[in-house]
A and B are shown apart, each in its own frame.
Chain A
Amino acid sequence: MLEPLLAPLREEFFLRALAAVILGGMTCACLGAYVVLRRMAFVSTALTHSILPGIVGALLLGCSPYAGALAAALLTAGGTAWLASRRGTSEDSAIGVMLSVMFAAGIALMQQARSWRDFGGLLFGSVVSVGPEDLLAIGLTAAVVLLSLRALHKELELASFDEEYARLLGARPGLMRAVLLALVAVGAVGCVRLVGALLTTALFVIPAATGVLLGRTLAGVMAWGAAVAVLGGIAGLYLSYHAPGVPSGAGIVLCCALPYLLARLFAPRR
């Protein structure tokens, strides 16, 4: 009876994919708590989409795709901050400008590379083809992001809840915002293999939005979010294993959305 659950576990690619969704899911969900509570969903979308020109550009130049993706994401974060730093451009429109410019640059570069098919995995995810070096990248990302969030937990919480009090205490809320943006960039790049550049925002937003409905403290929101992301990720992998018509990235996102819907319908109002 357990055969449908056990059969995939005998395949090495499936075990690597499992490790990737567990590490990546926890990373994105914990960062996602801040993305959701601070209303950074749009900027996280811009960062995840900007990975496209980064990776394609890196492939054209012959350097590491992860380095290219990280450079592009950090450029987007910096560019957004610079555009929004002058009156007359709201942060919203600054993000919209950077998002569309970076994505258009990605499409133009893809045309240069003359190969659309190779980039399907980049756009839509291909966690089942994760290799050892991708797993290493995801593991490093998880370590950097989770340790940073832990070390700066009280400052990030304070800056996100009461920015003015953080300023008054000297806890540098502006710096904390920059740290969070950088961590979202790192997390988006490290986890791009899970669900792809177009859907990584879902991993930031959906599990954490579920956590906000269920958790009473920030740590509780992160714990619920991580549980949803990890279980949704695992369920999505099994779904795409048994129903080959469902791509793994789409399967993971849909399996994370189900608990969100249940929590939205049945979580007690507080």
Chain B
Amino acid sequence: MSHRTAGLWEQFHGAIFGVLPRIPYAAPETPVAGPAIRAEGLTAAARPDGPVAFTDVALEIPVGCRAALVGPNGSGKSTLLRVLAGLTPARAGKVEVLGRAPALGRRRVAYLAQRPDLTPYFPLTLRRLVQMGKYAHHGWFDECRHGDADVDQALRLLELGDLAERPVHALSGGQLQRGLLARATVQGAELLLLDEPYAALDAASRAIVERFLAERPAGLTVVMATHDPADARRSDRVLELRGGALRLLHDCAGHDHRHA
């Protein structure tokens, strides 16, 4: 499209869609002081009619903390992360995430599934995928324009700059996972809930993600389900889910609770 046609298209588009109201996806929230996550008596199940994954869990994670969630397969790590993300309702108990009950439509909370369920062969470039993080800032009826500085910055941060125009289905598992992290960055999330982010990564991607997490901004809280003892060692706080109960193994101040 030539410059002139593009200009005309913009004018036409503006004339038609300029009249539509800009409605946010969800009401904006005001930040509240306090821990990033606080839960008491939390009980939840993976499925509404399924067995309970954990009962009466208490949990507190301060802002800026990097927490590792460990435990055997099927111990409820994914369910706990999904409850915090607002995707799965809790059966009982009280839980606050960034000062509010978990809910959908929260820009400040980002969640990365272990195996993201993306439509195969969808015609989408990596740049467009990362740009989706901006949608929450725009809301209904507002198109994001190309050339967004944050999108480029997030792509560079996760060393994806050269792949920006590549179709998503042509990316490796590690590149895709980094793209999804870049999307969470662009979203402006203050809490990252990561479900085994290293499961699909080769060593190179893993090092990039590791650096991203180590150099994260001070206010960014990370909760990561993992099976790897090395991740647990790099975390400020280690929580173990086992047999339906949650135990604190290690906390930010460096105290080892295993023998307490």
Interface, chain A (partner B; CB < 8 A):
37-38, 147, 150-155, 157-158, 160-165, 167-172, 212, 215-218, 220-221, 270
Contacts and interface: CB of A to CB of B under 8 A. Distances in A.
A168 B104 contact: yes
Interface string B100-144: 000011110111010011110111110011001001101011011
Contacts of B109: 168
A160 B119 contact: yes
Nearest to A158: B132
Given A212-B121, A215-B123, A154 B136 contact: no
Contacts of A170: 25-26, 104-106, 136
A217 B85 CA distance: 30
The 5 closest A-B pairs by CB, nearest first: A170-B105, A170-B25, A170-B26, A161-B122, A169-B136
Contacts of A152: 140-141
B161 interface: no
B167 A38 contact: no
Given A155-B135, A158-B135, A161-B124, 20 more contacts: A147-B16, A150-B16, A150-B17, A151-B17, A152-B141, A153-B143, A154-B144, A157-B124, A162-B117, A162-B132, A169-B25, A169-B107, A169-B135, A170-B25, A170-B26, A170-B105, A170-B136, A216-B167, A217-B123, A217-B128
B116 A162 contact: yes
A162 B25 contact: no
A167 B25 contact: no
B104 A167 contact: yes
A163 B117 contact: yes
Contacts of A147: 16
Contacts of A160: 119, 122
Interface string B141-177: 1011000000000000000000000010110000000
B89 interface: no
A155 B132 CA distance: 9
Interface in B15-53: 16-17, 20, 25-26
B87 interface: yes
Given A160-B119, A168-B85, A217 B20 contact: no
Q: How large is the interface on B (under 10, 10 to 19, 20 to 34, 35 or more residues)?
A: 35 or more
A151 B20 contact: yes
A176 B166 CA distance: 27
Nearest to B187: A169
B86 interface: yes
Contacts of A215: 123
Contacts of A270: 167, 169-170
Nearest to A33: B123
Contact of B123 (A154, A171, A220): A220
25 contacts: A37-B119, A37-B122, A37-B123, A150-B16, A151-B20, A151-B141, A152-B141, A154-B143, A154-B144, A161-B119, A161-B122, A161-B124, A164-B87, A165-B132, A165-B183, A167-B87, A168-B85, A168-B110, A169-B136, A170-B25, A170-B26, A171-B25, A217-B123, A217-B124, A218-B123
Contacts of A164: 87, 113, 116-117
Contacts of B13: 150
Contacts of B20: 151
Contact of B119 (A162, A168, A172): A162
A155 B140 contact: yes
In this complex, the member of A160, A161, A218 whose beta carbon has the largest number of chain B beta carbons within 10 angstroms is A161
Contact of A212 (B87, B118, B123, B144): B123
A88 to B, nearest CB: 13
A163 B85 CA distance: 15
Contacts of B124: 157, 161, 217-218
Nearest to B168: A161
